[in-house]
Amino acid sequence: MKRKINILVLFVVLSIAGCYSQNPFITHIYAADPSGHVWPGDTTTLWLYTSHDVPGNNHHATMFDYHVFSTQDLVNWTDYGRVLSVDDVDWAIDYAWAIDAVYRHGNYYLIFCMHDETGIFRTGVAISDVPQGPFTNIGCIKGVDWGQDPAVFVDDDGKAYLYWGSGGNCEAAELNDDLLSIKPETKVNLKNQLFEVFEGPWVHKYQGHYYLSYPGLAKGEWPEEMNYAISDKPLGPYKYQGKYIPKFEGQAGTNHGSIVLYKNKWIAFHHSAMVSEGNGSARSLMADYLTYNPDGTIKPIVPDPQGISKGKPATCTIYLEAENAPAAGGKLVKTQVESTLAGFFGKGYVAGFDKRFDYVQVLVQVGKDMKARLKMRYSADEDFSADILVGVLMLDGWNGTKIKKTNGWEEIDLGDVQLKAGDNLIRINSYTNVSLKIDCFKIEPKN
């Protein structure tokens, strides 16, 4: 009997050069609330953890999952697909809003918020052994009431602090070592220290001082502007300093940001509604360089159309590794993971195509309709026939057509595909028992 393994060694690559190739710098998918990090031991890679806006909506109630992005040059980005969804969290029902991430004791933790069955925001924790996930839910943080928009700051002494807040409130506390509860005696309410605070706190450290940045509502009116305050201690008291991203053309009603040092330059990440032409529920990722005055205050930012790539056309690649398939909405049906043939990517490859309806399937999420080129990296000891489906459509010319055997791992061009805005399922099944091994799919834009 064939061994069934719920791990799919597969990645999907989607390279996109959009018309907004600098700022916003990610245009193939709607994403918001970027949390930027450079992890210990790898100063060359910048990571972003974001929420995901579903295209075609006019509200935030349909936010159900999270994405992770990375870059090593601020021009070429990777999207690792859906890394955690409401479906993966047993206590959650909806509203996968802003997130953060933290490295702790050799693991990576996603700190997220979702509604529970009572309609209350809980702050959840999910774990992975790699920064790109996928992440596995391990519970909620005890001691946090209405835990919307969480952010974690780890100080030089290793102590971790949690910040959260919404609706004009902001609270903070030191976390216990396992990140699953706060130290209740350290809990403070920072609302009265943060002028016009509304939600989305974030803390970074510069020249020995703690900077708490947050979206605020000037005189209680939308849209949000990015404000900040400074303290000598992570839990305050904080002294308000002003706005570092005032209102700007093309912004969404909300804003939410993070500030991170990467390759000796400070970057302010946030979001806008430029790609969706003003739809504040379909937001896109923004990034601008941030600089300080001699006295430590932040120079206000006017978003730069050239962004942090300084005019170089940005690209983004969706990359879904095998073990991410269940979390990313894919399937592995009567096939299994192997790793004996050298030269594969990730942790293995998909094998075991014993009959026609044994297949692999992955989920690709995009924000707009797009035409692209589909390629596949595979190995086969003999010619074979296959069905290749994108959504409900059979790829023209590939329903049962022979695919040639290879000499090791090779890449084949499978022709044009049309992706629709939203979720797209890509599936391949062979017709007969064959020594087929699938390593990855690539989806490249035509323009």
Active site positions, annotated: 33, 199
Secondary structure percentages of the chain, helix, strand, coil, to 5: 5, 45, 50
- Rounded CA-CA distance 132/71 in Å is 12
- Rounded CA-CA distance 60/69 in Å is 21
Q: Which residues fall within 8 angstroms of residue 275, CB to CB, at 6 or more apart?
A: 18, 20, 24, 27, 30, 282, 284, 367
- Rounded CA-CA distance 270/303 in Å is 10
- Rounded CA-CA distance 152/439 in Å is 36
In the chain, the largest separation of any two C-alpha atoms, in whole Å, equals: 71
- Nearest-Å Rg of the Cα atoms of the chain is 23
Beta bridge partners of 337: 350
CB atoms within 10 A of CB 346: 19
- Rounded CA-CA distance 205/290 in Å is 14
